[in-house]
Structure 1
């Protein structure tokens, strides 16, 4: 049965989309192609689209998901230059897709959404926004809101580095005006960003002081260029690209068992642990350094990093790996807990993001004036990460508990957008002004999620950005992408309360 694309009176809902990264782009494109809907507006804080792929331009920035899977299923790219694309190539792909669908005409750049509030009498969202270039404030009334701001958008910058007097910046705010050639550089952090930055600047700097709090499990990055022959096969041989895409997708799906605590799944995790151990043994011959780079927690409870050039980089003579905590920062000097002192010319903070701060304070007010940031607190409660009882007609994209540790989040985004499209079609077919998920359906989902998450290694005692301060996993989906799609392949009207249009 096809989708209903208009109300009976011929009108269409007005839609506000917050964010112009992959999530916002997907929502805009699917509204156009599936509902023939052009009555939408995209709000983007930055001067161009791209989200994280616009912001993160640090040296070595790249995706750790294979390029063939890191693209919209409805917009295959036959021209990826290599198996794992870098930031510039991913951003170019996003801009190319945006131009094809004329998205630039629908995006308000350098515009900050300052407040969103549900007006129950009008059955609409009141979206307050400000043009950052002029300071002008305006208001939009929207029937539907897609929130695609993304979880990894607010850099975490520890206060202890405020007193550093030299040039300093976060990896997501890379200062390209500073030439690091022959400089003494400090990098704080040992996650995926740092692991990409270190090999990219190590041969340029004089010395690299590398402050590692917790080492990562690292497996080889089997990267390589796509030849002209591969690109020809992708573009011109029927089903070749589709089959290759599916093989990569299902190959990634199988790795979900690495994160399971079930006895039957211990073997896949043991194999991956052995792969990481052997890789480290092969590339790091210095025993003392290897000990510093060896994780002391269970494989998978923190993000597994894919990199082949990191270990050779930290083995270079101009790199000093520090595992002691930084005690004081004064001027250009960093003093460690063991009393050692390092003086540096520039400081790079690879300290991650405020992933648990999903909603800014006094920003989102739902039904009956509920402040969602306060209602959620540290424990967001949603229906499959897409909506909540307090937010009628609002759809979160890559919301709570929908991130992944094993496959491409673009699959999750597409699944969520498609579910929202079905919900909107249902609204138009039944002449509804609003739908809201029931507290019962939301609670049933959260109860199941918490139960299933206990069987995953992410719920172990090792701390990660997947968990809130209470140790509850709020960032990840518990299962495979296929399981998520299967549950959301149809809209579930029995789990929603509907309001008729007046």
Structure 2
């Protein structure tokens, strides 16, 4: 890249990274390998790294992106056991990678950032944090902050379920000490987590009451086992792994056409819709049940889920599918709008996460004392989703206004981190204490997203995590991952304002 790795006086900025999931680990590694910068710390809330893949340990938890694309491009894993890796295997990969690059020694575990505020006079971020083991409160300063607080970390639990008196938990807080064998189990929610959990527990429970809020489009998941020969070829025969990686990436990238309403993409949309329809038809022969499981919105508006065992599972005798609204909860019973009542032993909530409101108020205070939770709010003005005019020297890895519907999020993480590395190098080369994107650059990006989204299915009337409470589409990936990479391939000086070091 030809990067500048220090200021002229030989110093480097102090960096704080919030979160030790894929985003935070990627940032730490690239700071070391691309800038030779070791003046950074990672603050992690949990006892171990992993983020999403540490928190989500429910039965059947796995990635719905093919394994070969769910890895860092600079750290290929030749040993994936299957086409789609499970939670444990992904977590082990991330830990192994962190150990290889000595990231563990940079992490402060069980440490929570309580408040981060930009001080213009210091040209630094001042961060208040708490050691959750001792309860002690501390403060530190940083020249640059990476926010790697992923969206799939704060469970969304409707208040009405507080009244349930039996054992209950969210899929992201799975109770592994409780044995479901022979129990009457209720699962609320029909997103990706529920679609993985249901087939994994159905054969051990007595009955499974499944409360579907919205039907999902399901496409088959061909999860083949990677043979020893294939692993050998990946590892020892030049270009084999690289070709598989690229072909898989571009195959996923091509599917962006299925999310477009443009006429030239009609055929791809029709093929994808027919695949989902035929898969549902042949697996659910009962027309009444099949009608319940048939989405009424355009394909792709909500997340498409890959699963080969979910639909067959719902046809089993011990499974009851409910589509009526839950109107009340009392004791161990759930009351539905149609007047029916189900008494169960255990309640499992697959009710999703706080994706759009992931940032708490008073957590990040940007320039001029602006609370970024309120400032971003319903219209997050960011520069390609990675930095904001109000947050100098802060890089948002999968921050506000982001969501991905068709490809690997790790590609996006790497793209954002590499852009941040270029920005830090730019700062040092030009002797700047801070940089921030201009208001115009941010607004131009927001306008472009709004314009591009007019032709995408995410702008249709159905509610999804790509939209905020007002129905505004805030998904970042308006065109394609490759398009996004092309936009962030280099720093555009006229898009930024800088402050010279004293």
Asked if 1:202 corresponds to 2:202, the answer is yes
- Is the 1:5–1:36 contact (alpha carbons within 8 Å) kept by the matching residues of 2? yes
Supply the distance in 2 between the matched residues of 1:476 and 1:62 (Cα, whole angstroms).
24
Aligned to 1:3: 3
SS of the aligned residue for 1:129 comes to strand
Map of 1:256-271 to 2, 5 A cutoff? 256-271=256-271
Give the superposition deviation at 1:35. Answer: 0.5
Asked if 1:317 corresponds to 2:289, the answer is no
Give the superposition deviation at 1:153. Answer: 1.4
Supply the distance in 1 between the matched residues of 2:77 and 2:345 (Cα, whole angstroms).
42
SS of the aligned residue for 1:272 comes to helix
SS of the aligned residue for 1:162 comes to helix
- Is the 2:18–2:146 contact (alpha carbons within 8 Å) kept by the matching residues of 1? yes
Map of 1:144-163 to 2, 5 A cutoff? 144-163=144-163
Supply the distance in 1 between the matched residues of 2:442 and 2:361 (Cα, whole angstroms).
23
Aligned to 1:485: 485
Asked if 1:55 corresponds to 2:55, the answer is yes
Q: TM-score, normalised by structure 1?
A: 0.99
Aligned to 1:498: 498
SS of the aligned residue for 2:347 comes to strand
Asked if 1:336 corresponds to 2:333, the answer is no
Map of 1:449-460 to 2, 5 A cutoff? 449-460=449-460
Map of 1:420-459 to 2, 5 A cutoff? 420-459=420-459
Post-superposition Cα deviations, 1:418-465, rounded to whole Å, max 9, x if no partner, equal: 000000001101110000100011101101111111110001001111
Aligned to 1:290: 290
Post-superposition Cα deviations, 1:380-433, rounded to whole Å, max 9, x if no partner, equal: 110100011100000000123342111001000000000000000011011100
Post-superposition Cα deviations, 1:164-207, rounded to whole Å, max 9, x if no partner, equal: 00000000000111100000000000000000000000000000
Gaps of 5+ in 1: none
Supply the distance in 2 between the matched residues of 1:83 and 1:10 (Cα, whole angstroms).
46
Supply the distance in 2 between the matched residues of 1:431 and 1:95 (Cα, whole angstroms).
36
Supply the distance in 2 between the matched residues of 1:362 and 1:124 (Cα, whole angstroms).
17
Give the superposition deviation at 1:476. Answer: 3.7
Supply the distance in 1 between the matched residues of 2:199 and 2:177 (Cα, whole angstroms).
20
Supply the distance in 2 between the matched residues of 1:500 and 1:100 (Cα, whole angstroms).
36
Map of 1:100-499 to 2, 5 A cutoff? 100-499=100-499
SS of the aligned residue for 2:265 comes to helix
Which range moved further: 271-280 or 471-480? 471-480
Post-superposition Cα deviations, 1:237-271, rounded to whole Å, max 9, x if no partner, equal: 00100011000000000000000010111111111
SS of the aligned residue for 1:161 comes to helix
Supply the distance in 1 between the matched residues of 2:139 and 2:167 (Cα, whole angstroms).
39
Supply the distance in 2 between the matched residues of 1:299 and 1:173 (Cα, whole angstroms).
30
Post-superposition Cα deviations, 1:461-480, rounded to whole Å, max 9, x if no partner, equal: 01111100111112341011
Give the superposition deviation at 1:346. Answer: 0.4
Supply the distance in 2 between the matched residues of 1:492 and 1:16 (Cα, whole angstroms).
24
The alignment yields a C-alpha RMSD, in angstroms, of: 0.8
Supply the distance in 1 between the matched residues of 2:501 and 2:120 (Cα, whole angstroms).
12
Q: TM-score, normalised by structure 2?
A: 0.99
SS of the aligned residue for 2:329 comes to strand
Supply the distance in 2 between the matched residues of 1:120 and 1:397 (Cα, whole angstroms).
23
SS of the aligned residue for 1:97 comes to helix
Supply the distance in 2 between the matched residues of 1:135 and 1:116 (Cα, whole angstroms).
18
SS of the aligned residue for 1:125 comes to strand
Q: Which runs of 4+ in 1 moved over 4 A?
A: none
Give the superposition deviation at 1:134. Answer: 0.5
Supply the distance in 2 between the matched residues of 1:324 and 1:374 (Cα, whole angstroms).
35
SS of the aligned residue for 1:116 comes to strand
Supply the distance in 1 between the matched residues of 2:149 and 2:375 (Cα, whole angstroms).
19
Supply the distance in 1 between the matched residues of 2:19 and 2:473 (Cα, whole angstroms).
25
- Is the 1:384–1:401 contact (alpha carbons within 8 Å) kept by the matching residues of 2? no
Supply the distance in 2 between the matched residues of 1:378 and 1:202 (Cα, whole angstroms).
40
- Is the 2:78–2:235 contact (alpha carbons within 8 Å) kept by the matching residues of 1? yes
Supply the distance in 2 between the matched residues of 1:328 and 1:475 (Cα, whole angstroms).
33
Supply the distance in 2 between the matched residues of 1:488 and 1:475 (Cα, whole angstroms).
17
Aligned to 2:18: 18
- Is the 2:157–2:170 contact (alpha carbons within 8 Å) kept by the matching residues of 1? yes
Give the superposition deviation at 1:17. Answer: 0.1
Post-superposition Cα deviations, 1:66-88, rounded to whole Å, max 9, x if no partner, equal: 00000000000000000000000
Supply the distance in 1 between the matched residues of 2:267 and 2:300 (Cα, whole angstroms).
13
- Is the 1:405–1:476 contact (alpha carbons within 8 Å) kept by the matching residues of 2? no
